């Protein structure tokens, strides 16, 4: 190796290291060479279209998506001892979304670039060509359908776009032979889709993290790495504000209300975004409530009524028995009590009011179902008890001492409780002195002064006055 070649090689490697970051260029440790990752410039709204066997069981399908970034073209190179004075770099070119035929055409053009600049360093020119001119050179337009090899070999019948390429704007085209230096680094169409989507998402996130955004909650300007955006609407808020917002909603049980704070925006945070911001214990609550709310929408799912279990149980059609898969508790899916066969469901005194109201408001079909579930006798009892309760509330008052309900049929407003014998005033419900119960009505300072006979009929009033 001449000193001029050695110096030129070292200068070129140092220049590449200063121009590109570690993602773009890595120098080899043992030889004069390295690896460059070239990110091809894409136009706006560049679409990838894939059709064919998209799954492992070879089911045909179609996939289409718009991307901002594609996985890089990888150029591995090594300098021979007489580069750049005599020989070009030894290299391989690999890509996930370019076919072997397309990569072979690029390899051929890199050789031509070397021939045009023989005796000078060429790597930077190669990298600029791959970055800026790959799509135009290969006549790739949107939507683009990448082709892959079948079991590592190029298909025998190659489409026209894989064989013919316009060369530097020339009108003529020529068939290109496959180049051993060209490697398509992908296994299948399904893995290609995943790799494209994952890479595009990762690069978008990098760009987002490096920009500044204004949070419309705290009105502070922050780096994208301190912010989060909603997938559907792309509205951006800082993570600190969203964390507080999510935590409040989850603690209140509003797991379906983690919407974008922008007014009238329907976008909802994904579970992954929620998990990133809230604590583990709170996310477990969110996850549980989200699952429960989803199960609640399923008509054939009930929950084990045991407080220590609460396991979801699938309900068989036309059957009122549920058996918990976890604790093996057999229960009635209607009343949630121990399964009672064909016997009617028991209803507690506390639920009689609800049962009566439900029955009175129900249509004929629902009334029939309630009678079958609880029995006509229980329904009738609920109705009678509610009528009795309503009558008592309207026509009686509780004793101020023992709370026994007292009905006033006639007589004056000085009452005697039939249960505890306490004297009390029917008007103000105050307790009266046992020694002088009528003093309450003769005292000018009393609210019931001269109202002993208030509310009595005229005939009764005269008789009462005579008795007094």
Distance CA 298, CA 3 (A): 79
The C-alpha angle with vertex 55 and arms to 51 and 58, in degrees rounded to 5, equals 80
Catalytic residue among 412, 417, 425, 448: 412
The DSSP annotation for 251-304 comes to: HTT-TT--B-SSTT---B--HHHHHHHS-HHHHHHHHHHHHHHHHHT-TTEEE-
Q: What are the tokens at 133?
A: 């001119």
Contact present, 383 and 374 (Cβ < 8 Å)? no
Q: How many CB atoms lie within 10 A of CB 75?
A: 25
241 counts as catalytic: no
Contact present, 182 and 100 (Cβ < 8 Å)? yes
Q: Is 379 exposed, middle or buried (0-12, 13-18, 19+ CB in 10 A)?
A: buried
Q: What are the tokens at 236?
A: 């951006």
Q: What does DSSP say about strands 312-314 and 301-303: parallel, antiparallel, or unpaired?
A: antiparallel
Torsion-angle region of 52 (φ positive above 0: left; ψ -120 to 50: alpha; else: beta)? left
Q: What are the tokens at 461?
A: 């009033």
Distance CA 164, CA 252 (A): 64
Question: Which helix (H) or strand (E) element contains residue 125?
Answer: helix 123-137
Residues assigned a catalytic role: 412
């Amino acid at each position: 190796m001449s000193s001029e070649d050695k110096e030129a090689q070292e200068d070129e490697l140092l220049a590449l290291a200063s121009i590109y970051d570690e993602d773009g260029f890595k120098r080899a440790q043992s030889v004069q060479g390295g690896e460059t990752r070239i990110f091809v410039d894409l136009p706006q709204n560049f679409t990838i279209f894939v059709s064919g066997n998209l799954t492992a069981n070879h089911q045909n399908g179609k996939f289409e998506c718009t991307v901002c970034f594609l996985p890089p073209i990888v150029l591995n190179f090594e300098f021979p001892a007489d580069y750049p004075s005599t020989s070009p770099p030894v290299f391989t070119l690999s890509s996930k979304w370019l076919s072997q035929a397309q990569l072979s055409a690029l390899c051929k053009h890199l050789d031509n670039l070397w021939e045009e600049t023989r005796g000078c360093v060429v790597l930077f020119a190669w990298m600029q060509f791959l970055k800026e001119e790959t799509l135009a050179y290969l006549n790739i337009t949107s939507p683009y359908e990448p082709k892959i090899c079948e079991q590592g070999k190029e298909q025998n019948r190659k489409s026209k776009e894989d064989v013919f390429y316009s060369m530097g704007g020339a009108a003529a085209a020529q068939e290109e032979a496959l180049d051993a230096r060209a490697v398509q680094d992908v296994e299948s169409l399904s893995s290609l889709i995943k790799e494209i989507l994952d890479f595009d998402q990762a690069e978008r996130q990098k760009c987002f993290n490096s920009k500044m955004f204004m949070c419309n909650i705290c009105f502070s300007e922050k780096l994208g790495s301190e912010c989060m955006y909603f997938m559907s609407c792309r509205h951006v808020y800082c993570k600190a504000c969203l964390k507080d917002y999510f935590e409040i909603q989850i603690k209140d049980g509003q797991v379906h209300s983690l919407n974008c704070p922008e007014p009238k925006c329907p976008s909802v945070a994904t579970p992954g975004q929620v998990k990133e911001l809230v604590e583990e214990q709170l996310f477990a609550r969110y996850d549980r409530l989200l699952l429960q709310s989803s199960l609640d929408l399923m008509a054939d799912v009930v929950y084990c009524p045991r407080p220590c279990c609460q396991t979801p149980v699938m309900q068989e059609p036309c059957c009122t028995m549920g058996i918990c898969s976890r604790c093996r508790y057999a229960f009635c899916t209607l009343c949630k009590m121990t399964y009672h066969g064909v016997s009617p469901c028991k209803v507690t005194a506390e639920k009689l009011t609800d049962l009566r109201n439900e029955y009175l408001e129900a249509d004929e079909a629902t009334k029939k179902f309630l009678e079958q579930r609880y029995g006509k006798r229980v329904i009738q009892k609920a109705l009678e008890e509610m009528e009795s309760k309503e009558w008592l509330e309207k026509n009686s008052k509780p004793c101020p001492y023992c709370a026994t309900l007292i009905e006033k049929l006639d007589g004056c407003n000085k009452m005697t409780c039939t249960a505890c014998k306490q004297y009390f005033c029917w008007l103000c419900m105050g307790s009266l002195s046992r020694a002088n119960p009528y003093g309450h009505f003769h005292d000018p300072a009393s609210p019931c002064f001269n109202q002993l006979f208030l509310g009595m009929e005229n005939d009764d009033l005269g008789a009462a006055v005579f008795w007094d």
